[in-house]
Every structure is written in C-alpha cells, then in structure tokens.
C-alpha cells in the first residue's frame, strides 16, 4: 500500500500539490498550538509554559505508534520511507548549535515561518538570520566538511544501536513522554506566572 507516492499509487505529479496541502495542515496546527509566539515556545526552558514539550512529544509518540501499527497491518512499507541518516558528530554538534540558536532566537525554522505568516517582526528577522546562517555554512563548507561528514553510520535506527525491538522502544518512549507530561504539570503549578 503506502507510502502512496513512492509506490506509484498517487502519480508523481501530485507530489507538489500534496506538499502544499500537507504544509497547510502543518502550518495550521503549529500556529493554532501557539508556536508562532516565541515567548510561549521559550517558556519550556524557563518552566513557565510547557506547550512545546507537550505538543512535540505528543506528536512524536502519535506518529511513532501510528507508523508501527500501519507497518504491522501492511499499510506502509517502511523500507521505502526516508529514515534520517545518522552522522554522529554532525547530529550532536548541529543540535548543540541549534539549541543555542533556539534560546537566543526563540524560534525554530518551522515556528518562525508561522510567526512570519501572522506578522511577527521578530519571526521575519529570525528567518532572515536563518538564511544568513545557511549562507555562512555554505560559503565556509570546506572548513567544516569533515565535521559534516564525520562518523557516518548510515540510516541507523536508535533501536538497532540499543538492541531492543522497535515496538518496545516506542512503548518506553510513550511512557517517558507521559511521565514528562505529569512532572511538568506539577512544576507548572509552582512556578511564578509570566504574563506574555
């Protein structure tokens, strides 16, 4: 059955149309969840608003569980799905830099686009900065090429490196997410409210 486009069930020409439709849904949900507000997003790191954590992990768990069922029933052939490749050094170093950008800028690329769409000037500046960052990276590519390509492990799954079954890992992931939701709901009550 799926994925529909790689399997040729939906012809390739529809790919762009699908992209726009999926984007509309993505943007709508992000904005409606409050991701167009940098102060709401950053609340996670100061403990006054856990929206990002809740939305993000609920989404990740929903998709992981959904894909596991889809794959079990045979609706989707996961060998055709794009598995984000693992470049060990780059994944960690890039993540650390992005974290720093997150706390200073208050957005990530997807949320900054939502902010742009509703007229946030900080979102527009962030997006311009984003492109500038990409430009700097591209211009200096030879300098960090080694870092970029270092420790390539292929499209490894986290379960392969831990040596447990996919489904068990998804279950543990779901339990951890729920535990995090519970703990943050306790913290949320104690912390001084920030009005924004």
Partner 1 sequence: MDTNHKDRSKVYFNPYFGGVLLGMVLLATFYITGRGLGASGAAKSTVVAVVDRFAPEHAENSGYYSQFLSDDNHPLNTWLVFEVIGVLAGAFLSGAISGRLKLKTEHNPKITNKRRLLFAGIGGVLFGFGAQVARGCTSGAALSGAAVLSLGGFLTMLAIFGSAYAFAWFFRKLWI
Partner 2 sequence: MSRTYILLTIVAILGAAVLVFLPEKKNQKELDPEKLLMEINNSSRYLSTDLVAHRLIEKDPSILLVDVRPAAQYGEYALPGAINIPLEQVLLIDNEGYLNRNDLEIVLYSNGDLWADQAWILCARRGYKNLYVLKGGLNHWFESIMQPKSPSPGSPSQDFDMYSFRLAASQYFGGGANIETNTENSTENVIIKRREKKSVTAGGC
Interaction residues for partner 2, span 36-65 (CB under 8 A): 61, 65
179 binds partner 1 per the rule CB under 8 A = no
Question: Residue 171 and residue 169: Cα distance in Å, rounded?
Answer: 5
Indicate the residue among 34 and 188 with the shorter CB distance to partner 2. Answer: 188
Indicate the residue among 72 and 141 with the shorter CB distance to partner 2. Answer: 72
With CA atoms as reference, report the closest residue to 79 among 13, 7, 165, 16.
Answer: 7
146 binds partner 1 per the rule CB under 8 A = no
113 binds partner 2 per the rule CB under 8 A = no
Instruction: Tell me the CA distances in angstroms from 177 to 44, 69, 132, one per residue in order.
Output: 15, 19, 35
Q: Return the residue of 1, 29, 81, 191 that touches partner 2, per CB under 8 A.
A: 81
Indicate the residue among 74 and 142 with the shorter CB distance to partner 2. Answer: 74
Q: Return the residue of 125, 171, 174, 188 that touches partner 1, per CB under 8 A.
A: 125
- Asked if residue 115 has a cis previous peptide bond (ω within 30° of 0), the answer is no
Find which of partner 1, partner 2, none residue 174 binds, CB within 5 to 8 Å per kind. partner 2
Contact mark string toward partner 1, 23..62, x via CB under 8 A: xxxxxxxxxxxx-xxxxx-x-xxx-x-xx--xxxxxxxxx
Question: Residue 85 and residue 148: Cα distance in Å, rounded?
Answer: 12
Instruction: Tell me the CA distances in angstroms from 25 to 125, 177, 179, one per residue in order.
Output: 24, 24, 28
């Amino acid at each position: 059955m799926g994925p529909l486009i790689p399997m040729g069930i939906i012809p390739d020409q529809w790919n762009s149309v699908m992209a726009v439709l999926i984007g509309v849904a993505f943007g709508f949900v992000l904005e409606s969840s409050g991701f167009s507000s940098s102060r709401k997003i950053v609340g996670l790191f100061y403990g006054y608003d856990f929206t990002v954590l809740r939305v993000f992990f609920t989404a990740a768990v929903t998709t992981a569980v959904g894909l596991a069922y889809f794959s079990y029933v045979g609706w989707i052939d996961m060998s055709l799905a794009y598995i984000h490749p693992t470049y060990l050094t780059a994944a960690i170093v890039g993540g650390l830099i992005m974290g720093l950008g997150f706390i200073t800028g208050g957005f990530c690329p997807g949320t900054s686009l939502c902010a742009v769409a509703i007229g946030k000037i900080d979102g527009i500046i962030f997006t311009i900065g984003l492109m500038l960052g990409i430009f700097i990276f591209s211009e200096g590519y030879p300098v960090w090429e080694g870092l970029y390509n270092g420790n390539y492990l292929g499209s490894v799954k986290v379960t392969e490196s831990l040596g447990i079954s996919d489904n068990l890992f998804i279950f543990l992931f779901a339990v951890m997410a729920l535990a995090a939701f519970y703990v943050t709901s306790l913290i949320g009550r104690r912390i001084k409210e920030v009005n924004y």
